């Protein structure tokens, strides 16, 4: 995977006035995504209360918290599956009460799912091509009438899919049925499908769940490479705290639908409220009972 | 039982295969809908009836052939769009049995409307295809059946190419594979369903014209679905190639069994033998010959 790191180091931009390649500092980050006082409840049960989050361009932003803290609900708000009772989602300066899911891809947002949402009966390559095709939205008549153009688009789609398959080291399996692959590889195929359209924002819902240690390390490398290579902003939900702390730029911690901490991995790890939420608070009157 | 005559056998076989293609024509309509929306569209037969009835009634009212064809085509396109909007979309995410019942109801509505508009009398339909049998190597072949087979083959080639080689075809297969995933990656499912229903309507028109020319255009035309069901069980509900191969097997099986096994039962087994074949297949290969089943890796 040495090619990944080699390609990703310098940030070079072509200066239009001189047509020369110049090295510039990365532009000052601005929020690509913002959650503005999001409140979401299901039949009186508050899943998320008054949640604020800013995500800067090119940042890897983790949201962590114990089971049932409301993490997945937040991702579903960002991708428009849920409409929050209060609050707004800002994507690239546009404000939404509910994000239109059908336009998500065109807004530059892609996501993966905790329990995978792959086309199991299609090949790996076809899965990835779909990720690109869904963004293009060329219409039916164009496909039938514009045969030449349709062929060019098809070649374009295949080329892009090939690049991503290369990038994520899926070269050995493009023609295999996605559903027949080992779980870790399926997760990677889903990442490939999300990345093929070069999204500005990538939402990852527990990308490492159920993986072996080696697979987790690979996935970590791929997520970081995606950010470095394509400048993708990543929002990550993950249970493995070790991975989160190593991978993320900033971490928000959720407990019972409320944000209890937000900051760099080091800050969050030192935060007493976070430690309490994860390890539990000692109660004097409740003697610890151990069941064999 | 007379001695085995290879020439006679061949004639029965060819006749059966060509009859089977006619079943395939109806089965393809089912496959199109099932492949994209996992709905077994029981109304396919009614759509065949409506298409044929619309065409023949316009023809009888003095509308020229091609204009009638175009108008019937337009009617089927509109019907497809209307079904997606009024039946499929509100019932999205409902269990398959609900959708099946909806299409069952739909079949009666379409039949009712067709007869309300065009009346209930039997119409003859002449497509101008000569139905005189001709001889090839000592075997008599119906020219009409041959034309029908040619049309079916062209349709299958077109649809298979569409599903395999176009991006919209890929989107269709993706929507069939996993609706949630398709929704999640931003495929426009409603548009895909509408297109599938429109395509099924067009296929129904083709089947309606050919079947109508054969049997006459009348109420019982909608019963051709019953001929298509064993074909689907055999070929797989989501395979267009399967619909053709299934049709061929059922057609040939029916005719051969009628001629060679029928006499032992006093004849008349043709009408139900297809279901016997289908039942045996259900036991051996529940997904059909070409139906999709996930292959587990070793």
From first to last of the 298 residues of chain B, give the pLDDT tens digit: 556 788 888 888 998 898 899 899 999 999 989 888 888 899 999 999 999 999 999 999 999 999 999 999 999 999 999 998 998 888 877 888 899 999 999 999 999 999 898 888 888 888 877 777 888 777 888 888 888 889 988 988 888 888 888 778 888 888 888 888 888 888 888 888 888 999 999 999 999 999 888 888 888 888 888 888 899 988 888 888 889 999 999 999 988 888 888 788 877 787 788 888 888 888 888 777 777 654 433 3
Q: CA of B260 to nearest chain A CA: how many angstroms apart?
A: 41
B181 close to A101: Cβ distance less than 8 angstroms: no
Token pair for B233: 């069980």
Longest C-alpha distance within chain B, in Å? 65
pLDDT digits (tens, 9 = 90+) for A76-90: 899 888 899 999 999
Closest CA to A271 of A260, A281, A279: A260
Give A136's contacts in chain B (Cβ within 8 Å): 167
**B93 and A CB contact within 8 Å:** no
Count of all residues that appear for chain A in the document: 292
B164: closest chain A residue by CA: A126
What percent of chain A stands above pLDDT 70? 79
pLDDT digits (tens, 9 = 90+) for B239-298: 888 899 999 999 999 888 888 887 888 777 877 888 888 888 888 887 777 776 544 333
A5 pLDDT higher than 50: no
Give A135's contacts in chain B (Cβ within 8 Å): 186
* Partner-chain contact B180 A134, CB within 8 Å: no
Q: What is the pLDDT of residue A280?
A: 67
What is residue B33's three-state secondary structure?
Answer: helix
Q: What is the pLDDT of residue B110?
A: 94
Q: What is the pLDDT of residue B235?
A: 87
* Partner-chain contact A126 B173, CB within 8 Å: yes
A110: closest chain B residue by CA: B185
* Partner-chain contact B185 A138, CB within 8 Å: no
The C-alpha atoms of residue B176 and residue A122 are separated, in whole angstroms, by: 10
Q: What is the pLDDT of residue A248?
A: 94
What are the angstrom distances between the C-alpha of B8 and each of A70, B119, B137, B148? 74, 42, 12, 22
pLDDT interval class at A7 (50, 70, 90): very low
Where are chain B's structural domains? Answer: 6-284
pLDDT interval class at A24 (50, 70, 90): very low
The C-alpha atoms of residue A127 and residue B176 are separated, in whole angstroms, by: 13
Q: Which CATH number is B6-284's, of 1.10.3470, 2.40.50, 3.30.2390, 2.20.28?
A: 1.10.3470
A289 pLDDT higher than 60: no
pLDDT digits (tens, 9 = 90+) for A122-152: 999 999 998 887 666 555 555 555 566 667 7
pLDDT digits (tens, 9 = 90+) for A53-67: 999 999 999 999 887
Q: What stretch of H or E contains A185?
A: helix A183-195
Q: What is the pLDDT of residue A1?
A: 39
Size of interface A-B (CB pairs under 8 A): 85
A285 pLDDT higher than 60: no
**B186 and A CB contact within 8 Å:** yes
Q: What is the pLDDT of residue B85?
A: 92
**Residues on A contacting B at a C-beta cutoff of 8 Å:** 79, 101-106, 110-111, 113, 117-122, 126, 129-131, 133-138, 140, 143, 150, 153-154, 157, 176-177, 179-182, 193
Give me the residue from B174, B186, B295 closest to A177, CB to CB.
B295
A118: closest chain B residue by CA: B181
Q: CA of A200 to nearest chain B CA: how many angstroms apart?
A: 15
Q: CA of A209 to nearest chain B CA: how many angstroms apart?
A: 19
Q: What is the pLDDT of residue A11?
A: 42
What is residue A135's three-state secondary structure?
Answer: helix
pLDDT digits (tens, 9 = 90+) for B206-217: 999 998 888 888
Q: Which residues of A218-247 are buried (b: 16+ CB within 10 A; e: fewer)?
A: bbbebbbbbbbebebbbbbbbebbebbbeb
Q: What is the pLDDT of residue B109?
A: 94
Query: What integer is the mean pLDDT of A199-218?
Result: 91
The C-alpha atoms of residue B75 and residue B122 are separated, in whole angstroms, by: 21
Please spell the DSSP secondary structure of B234-247, one letter per residue: HH-TT-HHHHHHHH
A27 pLDDT higher than 70: no
Residues paired with residue A236 on neighbouring β-strands, in sequence order: A62, A204
Give B186's contacts in chain A (Cβ within 8 Å): 101-106, 134-135
Claim: this prediction has a pTM higher than 0.90: no
* Partner-chain contact A181 B292, CB within 8 Å: no
What percent of chain A stands above pLDDT 90? 36
pLDDT digits (tens, 9 = 90+) for A238-257: 888 888 999 999 999 988 88
């Amino acid at each position: 995977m040495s090619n990944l790191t080699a390609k990703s180091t310098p940030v070079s931009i072509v200066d239009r006035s001189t047509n020369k390649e110049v090295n510039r500092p990365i532009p000052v980050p601005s929020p690509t995504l913002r959650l503005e006082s999001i409140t979401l409840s299901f039949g009186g049960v508050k899943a998320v209360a008054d949640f604020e989050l800013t995500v800067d361009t090119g940042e890897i932003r983790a949201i962590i918290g114990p089971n049932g803290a409301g993490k997945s609900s937040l991702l579903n708000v960002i991708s428009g599956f849920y409409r929050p009772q209060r609050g707004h989602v800002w994507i690239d300066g546009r404000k939404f009460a509910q994000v239109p899911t059908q336009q998500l891809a065109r807004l530059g947002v892609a996501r993966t799912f905790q329990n995978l949402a792959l086309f199991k009966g299609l090949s790996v390559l076809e899965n990835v091509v779909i990720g690109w095709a869904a963004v293009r939205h060329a219409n039916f008549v164009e496909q039938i009438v514009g045969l030449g153009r349709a062929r060019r688009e098809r070649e374009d789609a295949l080329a892009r899919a090939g690049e991503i398959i290369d990038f994520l080291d899926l070269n050995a399996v493009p023609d295999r049925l996605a559903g027949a692959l080992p779980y870790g590889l399926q997760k990677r195929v889903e990442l490939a499908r999300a990345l093929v359209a070069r999204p500005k924002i990538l939402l990852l819902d527990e990308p490492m769940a159920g993986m072996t240690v080696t697979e987790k390390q690979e996935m970590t490398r791929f997520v970081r490479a995606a950010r470095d290579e394509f400048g993708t902003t990543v929002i990550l939900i993950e249970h493995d705290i070790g991975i989160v702390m190593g991978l993320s730029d900033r971490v928000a911690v959720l407990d019972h639908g409320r944000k209890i901490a937000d900051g760099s991995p080091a800050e969050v790890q030192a935060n007493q409220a976070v430690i309490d939420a994860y390890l539990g608070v000692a109660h004097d009157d409740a003697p610890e009972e151990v069941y064999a | 039982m007379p001695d085995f005559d290879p020439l006679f056998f061949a004639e029965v076989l060819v006749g059966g295969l060509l009859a089977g293609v006619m079943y395939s024509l109806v089965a393809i309509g089912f496959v199109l809908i099932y492949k994209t929306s996992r709905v077994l569209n029981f109304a396919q037969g009614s759509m065949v009836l409506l298409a044929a009835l619309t065409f023949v009634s316009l023809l009888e009212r003095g509308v020229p052939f091609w204009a009638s064809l175009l108008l019937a085509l337009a009617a089927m396109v509109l019907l497809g769009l209307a079904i997606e909007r009024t039946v499929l979309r509100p019932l999205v995410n409902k269990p398959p049995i609900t959708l099946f019942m909806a299409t069952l109801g739909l079949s009666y509505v379409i039949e009712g409307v067709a007869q309300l508009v065009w009346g209930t009398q039997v119409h003859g339909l002449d497509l101008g295809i000569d139905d005189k049998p001709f001889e090839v190597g000592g075997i008599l072949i119906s020219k009409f059946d041959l034309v029908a087979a040619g049309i079916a083959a062209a349709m299958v080639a077109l649809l298979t190419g569409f599903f395999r080689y176009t991006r919209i075809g890929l989107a269709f297969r993706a929507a069939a594979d996993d609706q949630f995933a398709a929704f999640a990656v931003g495929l426009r499912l409603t548009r895909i369903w509408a297109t599938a229903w429109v395509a099924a309507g067009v296929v129904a028109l083709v089947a309606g014209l050919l079947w109508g020319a054969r049997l006459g255009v009348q109420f019982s035309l909608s019963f051709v679905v019953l001929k298509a069901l064993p074909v689907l069980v055999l070929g797989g509900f989501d395979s267009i190639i399967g619909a053709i191969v299934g049709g061929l097997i059922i057609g040939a099986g029916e005719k051969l069994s009628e001629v060679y096994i029928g006499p032992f039962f006093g004849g008349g087994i043709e009408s139900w033998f297809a279901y016997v074949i289908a039942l045996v297949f259900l036991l051996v290969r529940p997904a059909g010959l070409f139906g999709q089943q996930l292959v587990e890796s070793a």
